[in-house]
Amino acid sequence: MLTRGLLCSLALVAHAVGSPTSAHLPSKGKQHGATWGKEASGTWDKEASGTWGKKHGGKNHFKGHAYFGAANSSQDRAAAVKEAFQFAWDGYYQYAFPNDELHPISNSFSNSRNGWGASAADALSTALIMEIPEIVNEIVAYVPTIDWSVSYQDEPVSLFETTIRYLGGLISGYDLLTGPLSHLVNNTAYVPELLSQAANLANNLSYAFETPSGIPNNNLIFGNRSDDGSTTNGLATIGTLVLEWTRLSDLTGNDTYAQLTQKAESYLLNPQPAYNEPWDGLVGTNVALENGSFVDASGGWNGGDDSFYEYLIKVKALLFSEYRDRWIAAADSTIEHLASHPSSRPDLTFLAVYNNQTLDFTSEHLACFDGGNFILGGLVLNEQKYIDFGLKLVAACEDTYNQTLTGIGPEVFSWNASMVPADQQEFYDRAGFYITNSQYILRPEVLESFYYAYRATGDSKYQDWSWNGFVAINATCRTGSGFAEISDVNAANGGSFMDFQDSFFFAEVTKYSYLIHAEDAVWQVNNDGVNQYVFNTEAHPFKVAGTPI
Ligand SMILES: *[C@@H]1O[C@H](CO)[C@@H](O)[C@H](O)[C@H]1NC(C)=O
Ligand SMILES: *[C@@H]1O[C@H](CO)[C@@H](O)[C@H](O)[C@H]1NC(C)=O
Ligand SMILES: *[C@@H]1O[C@H](CO)[C@@H](O)[C@H](O)[C@H]1NC(C)=O
Ligand SMILES: *[C@@H]1O[C@H](CO)[C@@H](O)[C@H](O)[C@H]1NC(C)=O
Ligand SMILES: *[C@@H]1O[C@H](CO)[C@@H](O)[C@H](O)[C@H]1NC(C)=O
Ligand SMILES: *[C@@H]1O[C@H](CO)[C@@H](O)[C@H](O)[C@H]1NC(C)=O
Ligand SMILES: *[C@@H]1O[C@H](CO)[C@@H](O)[C@H](O)[C@H]1NC(C)=O
Ligand SMILES: *[C@@H]1O[C@H](CO)[C@@H](O)[C@H](O)[C@H]1NC(C)=O
Ligand SMILES: *[C@@H]1O[C@H](CO)[C@@H](O)[C@H](O)[C@H]1NC(C)=O
Ligand SMILES: CC(=O)N[C@H]1CO[C@H](CO)[C@@H](O)[C@@H]1O
């Protein structure tokens, strides 16, 4: 997934029902904006040092993670992932549907995505690919009942989150149900409703683009058709719309969706002023709504910026060479300037972030989609160097999983040798990073990149890494009626639970965990770079229009 913004402090993760903060809970990248950035950095430091000091006392014994995988066939593994998906769906359906998400410990729910049933929208394409008709039918029968004109408690509507989860989920469901999986729905009258509801939603969102430049405002107040008054929007939140809205134009014949998002994207492809593009293809983060200019020069592949780069190659896959050229520029500059090898583990490759040309050796779980995106770019462009570099990034993200006590990687980590906390020195010496935010909130990016690595190489090592990750998540996060976030990936049993199961668990974690073991199918990524489907940043597969890429 890409997308999203910064993590949430422990306080935020309380996810109180209907609390104002829960509405803003960023999923992926995004919202690097002033609010999140500040809040996040303040909290992280405190939290991380407090936690480490108390809980770890400088001792981090490495427990190897058992290779449960070795004895299991791909079919067994795929079936085990499907069982986990069904379990989580059953809990959601019993206690939360049609609200946005389940609270798996208290068996209650919340509406952090405007109350339109985010988990149902996000589960649809996974239920389809796993071929579970009962769940598919429950979701498609619900979709026509959604009223997009009313946001739960009139909370702001995020253009970005709404696009990747709801629009993405509905468009993907429509593509799969009018194509290879049409046998999974027993009332075909519901199928065209997926597309008309997607169009209704986009029509409601479209006033976001009514700004002087055409760069949309991300945060909309539907109740009075206004917005939050922001004067800027972020790179990922602007640059992660074009795949969904363009596909919607293809399917409906209404070109406006494509035009609005491609116009906004044009400012990102031709960035001004030049000094806010510190290296060719690598740009700043915040863009002025007034004139489309970048207002800073900091960025990287972390949340807030991530899926802009992701979509450059995915849109190329769909459509345009201009996007391809910008992806190549960003990828080449990344290899040259951002690739970084920890002093204690020079064999590992992480990506630094930057402010102008000054690097910061910090990365995060969100950024671990990068390996998969380099691999996809290498396949689509037939350039082995990007695949090779992507595989290095994948191996370093695997290291963030297999070095912790739970076998799950942390939310944020660093490798600045001069800043290693004393109680993590031993850990840094062994692992090549230290943990600055120890939560795991059911994110998919590491599993996503394993998927691309496996599809590109056919090397079963990546299936084993994915299986180990899935088994660890199943062992550590599964509780009550679903899967819960955990406070500390490097504590026995994950520290403590947080009572929240984000919708992307259905869209992404379970899907990528499943697909890596599943049989070939038209939606699978192919190692010859010719794909009939492309996965959006929420892991919803869309059909590629026209000639396969
Ligand atoms: C996978 O193998 C392990 C032992 O090797 C076994 O305990 C486990 O039940 C198997 N899982 C499945 C889903 O078959
Ligand atoms: C359609 O499928 C759902 C779930 O599988 C089932 O509950 C319902 O009875 C089915 N309806 C018809 C008309 O077959
Ligand atoms: C096409 O989409 C735009 C933008 O949402 C909308 O305003 C317009 O009504 C749509 N046109 C048709 C014919 O549906
Ligand atoms: C719209 O509603 C929001 C929240 O209800 C309020 O803060 C804002 O001032 C209103 N904006 C306009 C232009 O009326
Ligand atoms: C664009 O708008 C921003 C923010 O209002 C402003 O700082 C910048 O100077 C403007 N750039 C141009 C080229 O007008
Ligand atoms: C960015 O860094 C370059 C090289 O160090 C420097 O020449 C330039 O002035 C910096 N730009 C800004 C806007 O700080
Ligand atoms: C490492 O940390 C020091 C001290 O905070 C800071 O000055 C330096 O910029 C950091 N370097 C990197 C590459 O992160
Ligand atoms: C952990 O990941 C690294 C990096 O790829 C790999 O070399 C190592 O074998 C893995 N260790 C275990 C125990 O899985
Ligand atoms: C997942 O957890 C459940 C409940 O503890 C267990 O029954 C199941 O075997 C686990 N699956 C795997 C693959 O470990
Ligand atoms: C904010 C907004 O555009 N709301 C509209 C969403 O669509 C419904 C149905 O067309 C309208 O009634 C709302 O005004």
Ligand number nearest to the C-alpha of 190: 2
Q: Print pLDDT tens along the chain (549 aa).
A: 444 433 222 222 233 233 322 322 233 333 322 222 222 222 222 222 222 222 222 223 333 344 444 447 999 999 999 999 999 999 999 999 999 999 999 999 999 999 999 999 999 999 999 999 999 999 999 999 999 999 999 999 999 999 999 999 999 999 999 999 999 999 999 999 999 999 999 999 999 999 999 999 999 999 999 999 999 999 999 999 999 999 999 999 999 999 999 999 999 999 999 999 999 999 999 999 999 999 999 999 999 989 999 998 887 666 677 899 999 999 999 999 999 999 999 999 999 999 999 999 999 999 999 999 999 999 999 999 999 999 999 999 999 999 999 999 999 999 999 999 999 999 999 999 999 999 999 999 999 999 999 999 999 999 999 999 999 999 999 999 999 999 999 999 999 999 999 999 999 999 999 999 999 999 999 999 888 999 999 999 998 764 433
* Number of Cα atoms under 13 Å in the Cβ half of residue 398: 23
Tell the residue nearest (CA) to atom 7 of ligand 1. 68
- Judged by DSSP in three states, 471 sits in helix
pLDDT of residue 42: 25
Tell the residue nearest (CA) to atom 1 of ligand 9. 474
Ligand 6 pocket, residue 275 CB under 6 Å:
yes
For residues 434 and 446, give the distance between their C-alpha atoms in angstroms, rounded to a whole number: 17
Asked if 470 and 447 touch (Cβ cutoff 8 Å), the reply is yes
Opening angle at CA 307, ends 304 and 313, nearest 5 = 150
Residue showing tokens 């988990």: 119
Mark residue 153 as left, alpha or beta (left: phi above 0; alpha: psi -120 to 50; beta: remaining): left
- Mutating to test ligand 3, I would choose from 197, 201, 203, 241 the residue with most ligand atoms within 8 A of its C-beta, which is 203
Alpha-helical segments (H) within 164-279: 168-177, 190-205, 235-239, 242-252, 256-269
For residues 43 and 439, give the distance between their C-alpha atoms in angstroms, rounded to a whole number: 13
For residues 44 and 11, give the distance between their C-alpha atoms in angstroms, rounded to a whole number: 11
- 508 DSSP 8-state letter: I
Cα–Cα separations (whole angstroms), residue 31 to 5, 36, 70, 87, 193:
5, 6, 41, 32, 31
Residue showing tokens 């798996």: 104
Whether omega before 192 lies within 30 degrees of 0, making that bond cis, reads: no
For residues 178 and 187, give the distance between their C-alpha atoms in angstroms, rounded to a whole number: 13
Nearest residue to 421 (alpha-carbon basis) of 124, 33, 52: 52
For residues 160 and 204, give the distance between their C-alpha atoms in angstroms, rounded to a whole number: 14
Task: Provide the token pair at 49.
Answer: 């040092």
Could you tell me which residues are beta bridge partners of residue 483? 478
Tell the residue nearest (CA) to atom 4 of ligand 5. 288
Asked if 522 and 176 touch (Cβ cutoff 8 Å), the reply is no
Ligand 9 pocket, residue 478 CB under 6 Å:
yes
Sheet hosting strand 226-227, strand order edge to edge:
157-158, 219-221, 226-227
Ligand number nearest to the C-alpha of 279: 6
Ligand 10 pocket, residue 157 CB under 6 Å:
no
Task: Provide the token pair at 183.
Answer: 């046998």
Could you tell me which residues are beta bridge partners of residue 485? 498
Asked if 284 and 342 touch (Cβ cutoff 8 Å), the reply is no
Opening angle at CA 166, ends 521 and 191, nearest 5 = 60
Q: Which residues are catalytic?
A: 161, 306, 411, 445
Task: Provide the token pair at 13.
Answer: 């993760």
Task: Provide the token pair at 74.
Answer: 């791909």
181 CA to centre of ligand 9 in angstroms: 28
Q: How many CB atoms lie within 10 A of CB 270?
A: 11
Nearest residue to 298 (alpha-carbon basis) of 308, 284, 288: 284
Alpha-helical segments (H) within 272-424: 306-318, 321-333, 370-381, 384-402
Cα–Cα separations (whole angstroms), residue 74 to 407, 464, 466:
21, 10, 11
Task: Provide the token pair at 403.
Answer: 């070095």
Sign of the Cα torsion 449, 450, 454, 459 reads: positive
Ligand 6 pocket, residue 106 CB under 6 Å:
no
Asked if 438 and 51 touch (Cβ cutoff 8 Å), the reply is yes
For residues 149 and 59, give the distance between their C-alpha atoms in angstroms, rounded to a whole number: 53
pLDDT of residue 319: 62
Element (H, E) at 412: strand 412-414
Asked if 427 and 60 touch (Cβ cutoff 8 Å), the reply is yes
Whether omega before 212 lies within 30 degrees of 0, making that bond cis, reads: no
Ordered by where they begin, the domains of the chain are 74-543 (1.50.10.10)
Alpha-helical segments (H) within 213-255: 235-239, 242-252
Classify residue 103 by burial, with Cβ atoms within 10 Å: 0-12, 13-18, 19+: buried
The answer to whether the annotation marks 537 as part of a ligand binding site is: yes
Asked if 171 and 143 touch (Cβ cutoff 8 Å), the reply is no
pLDDT of residue 317: 62
Task: Provide the token pair at 248.
Answer: 């919607």
103 CA to centre of ligand 2 in angstroms: 27
6 CA to centre of ligand 8 in angstroms: 28
Tell me how many helices (H) and strands (E) the chain has. 19, 21
Ligand 4 pocket, residue 224 CB under 6 Å:
yes
For residues 396 and 465, give the distance between their C-alpha atoms in angstroms, rounded to a whole number: 12
In terms of C-beta distances under 8 Å and separation of at least 24 residues, what long-range contacts does 468-471 make, across chains too? 468/65, 468/67, 468/68, 468/69, 468/401, 468/402, 468/407, 469/401, 469/407, 469/408, 469/513, 470/77, 470/80, 470/81, 470/84, 470/513, 471/68, 471/69, 471/407
Ligand 8 pocket, residue 453 CB under 6 Å:
no
Tell the residue nearest (CA) to atom 9 of ligand 5. 293
Ligand number nearest to the C-alpha of 245: 3
149 CA to centre of ligand 10 in angstroms: 5
pLDDT of residue 318: 61
pLDDT of residue 529: 85
Nearest residue to 219 (alpha-carbon basis) of 165, 169, 146, 155: 155
Ligand 10 pocket, residue 382 CB under 6 Å:
no
